[in-house]
Amino acid sequence: MKFEIHRVVLKSVATATLISCMALQTAPAESPAASPSQAIDASIVGEEIAVLTQAPNVPPPIKRSHATKVIVKLEVKEVVRKLSDGVEYLFWTFGGEVPGSFIRIRQGDLVEFHLNNHQNNKMPHNIDLHAVTGPGGGAASSFTAPGHSSQFSFKALNPGLYIYHCATAPVGMHVGNGMYGMILVEPKEGLPTVSKEYYVMQGEFYTAGKFGDEGLQVFDQNKAVDERPTYVVFNGSVGSLVGDKAITAKVGDTVRLFVGNGGPNLTSSFHVIGEIFDNKWKGHESQASAP
Ligand SMILES: [Cu+2]
């Protein structure tokens, strides 16, 4: 079995902000986030609706060799879900689960992003995609009240694997409640074919009760400020990747893992046991040189 890993980390909100700012400062003057007028672009051919998936699944590889207009429709849902056996939590999610839906596009694509905030939600939300070159990574254009939708467009200038997250204040609370996911911008030449691809994301939860205390748990702001998580999990719940939920591969398969860390506070020391990665990339490193 062969493994390769793509890894991106959201260490903290401060880091995320810094990355967005740096991208803005270093971007060519003529290439900020696309405005509607810039949608008239000869390189953009046709349009399609993005396939979004829930972890550990990844949308299918992009086969086309041209840029297109990709319409992404993502809905924020505040939902009670299982955090551990007997333990429930009111997660704030992009797409109904933690981590948020995986988004896959191609370098050069023009993305028309629709963020819907479900009418039953209590809070306003937005989205900051680190793949976006522009104000707040889209956050400034996507602040959305419950029962409303917002829309903005951007051009995917740089290939890489990027975090997205809610950037509504208090950001630590929104991220700490599960508001993060990943977007992959494939390089123009695509990625080498592999047997399997999976999506794994770490995150922490800060509950008023102790680890294992049963019932519906609520967010504990003091624990979050002190960076004392009650739960540190992959893919949103205890045991999300074991037993009948384990990700699988056959002997001889090549497996590509897209690994992220939503935090909001801890770093991740992700590793696999009993196998060696053939390749790894960090965050925005070029994937064009993949074997
Ligand atoms: Cu939010």
What would the pLDDT profile of 152-205 be if each residue is shown by its tens digit? 999 999 999 999 999 999 999 999 999 999 999 999 999 999 999 999 999 999
Nearest to 199 by CA among 259, 146, 143: 259
Measured in Å, residue 66 CA sits from the centre of ligand 1 at 34
Q: How far away, in angstroms, is 138 Cα from ligand 1 center?
A: 13
Give the pLDDT band (50/70/90) at residue 5. Answer: low
Could you tell me how far CA 163 lies from the centroid of its own chain?
Answer: 5
Q: How many C-alpha atoms does 163 have within 13 Å on its Cβ side?
A: 31
Segment 272-283 shows an average pLDDT of: 86
- 234 — pLDDT class (breaks 50, 70, 90): very high
Q: For a pLDDT cut of 90, what percent of the chain falls above it?
A: 78
User: pLDDT tens digit string along 89-136?
Assistant: 999 999 999 999 999 999 999 999 999 999 999 999 999 999 999 889
Give the residue with greater pLDDT, 40 vs 262. Answer: 262
| Whole-Å CA distances, 195 to 1, 58, 231, 269, 273 | 10, 12, 32, 25, 19
Once rounded to an integer, what is the mean pLDDT over residues 244-255? 94
Q: 248 by DSSP, 3-state: which?
A: coil
Residue 46 exposed, middle or buried by CB count within 10 Å (0-12, 13-18, 19+):
exposed
Q: How much is the pTM?
A: 0.85
**What's the 125 CA to ligand 1 centre distance in angstroms?**
4
pLDDT at 228 over 90: yes
CA of 180 to the centre of ligand 1 (A): 9
What's the 120 CA to ligand 1 centre distance in angstroms?
Answer: 14
Task: Compute the distance from residue 237 Cα to the ligand 1 centre, in Å.
Answer: 19
Pairing of strands 196-205, 254-263: parallel
Query: Which residues of 10-102 form beta strands (DSSP E)?
Result: 44-49, 67-84, 87-94
- Residues 264-285, mean pLDDT to the nearest whole number: 86
